[in-house]
């Protein structure tokens, strides 16, 4: 029974995405919405990305120095490990999990409210492809902005690591800089971009699906918002394993 329900939900999701990724009827209106969603979903998320990444970069640097550094290891190991963690996992995968809570719940509640207040029905009556009009700008806007958010996250994490060097005297700046530069592989940055773009699609499309298909009133909108965050997070973790295996 659970398998059949999951399969039916997945089929409804694919049908909705089929309607979403059709050619917009009015390109001028689409680009206007596209720019608006880039601002609301991407630009408005820069603050929380910078804040969280700064403290995570600082904490990683301190933890590596205190728990892994030993006289048998080079002093730059702390900076090297901090860089690898930020590039490979935190700035792409963990940051997207955090954004699934902020962006995903916002999308699900916004579209869900439009559904229960019959605004989507009004769009359909007017002959507008509501899925394309409401969801496509959000999906493309978030996929466009996510690599920039990853860049901001990486930069802020490194600034946090340097803050521990300057303020906390955890490691010298020269050793930290040497570690951040040691054996750098630029593919790790591109791998983070690729993963984050895929995760951005998961966050926006899944959240929009839960909001678009909600039935009932405000209580159901809240439940759909919660379900969208949970489903997005699980799918991000599952696909992270697959993408890491494929791209490594």
Query: What pLDDT score was predicted for residue 9?
Result: 84
- Tracing tokens 């940051």 back to the chain, one arrives at 95
Query: What pLDDT score was predicted for residue 69?
Result: 66
* Tens-place pLDDT, residues 81-110: 889 989 888 888 888 899 998 898 999 999
Mean pLDDT of 221-233: 90
Query: What pLDDT score was predicted for residue 3?
Result: 73
* pLDDT at 58 exceeding the cut of 80: yes
Q: Residue 103 region, left (φ>0) first, then alpha (ψ -120 to 50), else beta? A: alpha
Q: Give the tokens for residue 211.
A: 């909001």
Alpha carbon distance 111, 137 (integer Å): 13
Tell which residue, 54, 39, 75, 29, has the closest CA to residue 156.
54
Residue pair 232/203 in contact (Cβ under 8 Å)? The answer is yes
Alpha carbon distance 43, 51 (integer Å): 14
What is the greatest pairwise CA distance in the chain? 72
Task: Read off the pTM.
Answer: 0.90
For 21, 22, 62, 127, 192, the CA distances from 30, given in Å and listed in that order, are: 12, 12, 47, 16, 28
* pLDDT at 50 exceeding the cut of 90: yes
Please list, in sequence order, all residues whose beta carbon lies within 8 angstroms of the beta carbon of residue 50, skipping any fewer than 6 positions away: 152, 153, 156
How large is the C-alpha radius of gyration of the chain?
Answer: 21
Where are the alpha helices (H) located in the chain, listed in sequence order? 2-20, 27-37, 46-67, 77-85, 95-99, 105-116, 119-125, 130-166, 173-181, 187-212, 218-247
Query: What pLDDT score was predicted for residue 201?
Result: 94
**Average predicted confidence (pLDDT) for the chain:** 88
Alpha carbon distance 62, 72 (integer Å): 18
Tell which residue, 71, 95, 114, 74, has the closest CA to residue 210.
114
* pLDDT at 47 exceeding the cut of 70: yes
* Tens-place pLDDT, residues 9-25: 888 888 988 888 888 88
């Amino acid at each position: 029974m659970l398998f059949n329900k999951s399969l039916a939900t997945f089929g409804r999701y694919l049908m909705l995405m089929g309607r979403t990724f059709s050619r917009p009827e009015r390109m001028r209106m689409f680009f206007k919405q596209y720019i608006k969603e880039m601002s609301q979903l991407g630009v408005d998320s820069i603050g929380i990305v910078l804040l969280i990444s700064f403290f995570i970069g600082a904490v990683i640097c301190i933890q590596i120095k205190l728990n892994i550094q030993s006289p048998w290891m080079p002093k730059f190991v702390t900076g090297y490990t901090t860089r690898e963690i930020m590039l490979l996992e935190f700035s792409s995968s963990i940051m997207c999990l955090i954004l699934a809570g902020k962006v995903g719940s916002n999308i699900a509640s916004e579209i869900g409210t439009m559904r229960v207040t019959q605004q989507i029905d009004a769009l359909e009556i007017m002959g507008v492809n509501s899925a394309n009009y409401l969801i496509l700008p959000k999906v493309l806007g978030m996929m466009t902005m996510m690599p920039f958010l990853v860049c901001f996250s990486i930069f802020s994490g490194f600034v946090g690591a340097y803050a521990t060097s300057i303020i906390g005297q955890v490691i010298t700046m020269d050793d930290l800089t040497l570690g951040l530069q040691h054996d750098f592989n630029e593919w790790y940055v591109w791998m983070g971009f690729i993963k984050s773009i895929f995760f951005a699609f998961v966050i926006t499309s899944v959240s929009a699906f839960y909001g678009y298909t909600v039935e009932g009133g405000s209580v159901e909108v809240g439940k759909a918002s919660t379900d969208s965050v949970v489903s997005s997070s699980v799918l991000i973790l599952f696909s992270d394993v697959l993408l890491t295996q494929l791209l490594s």
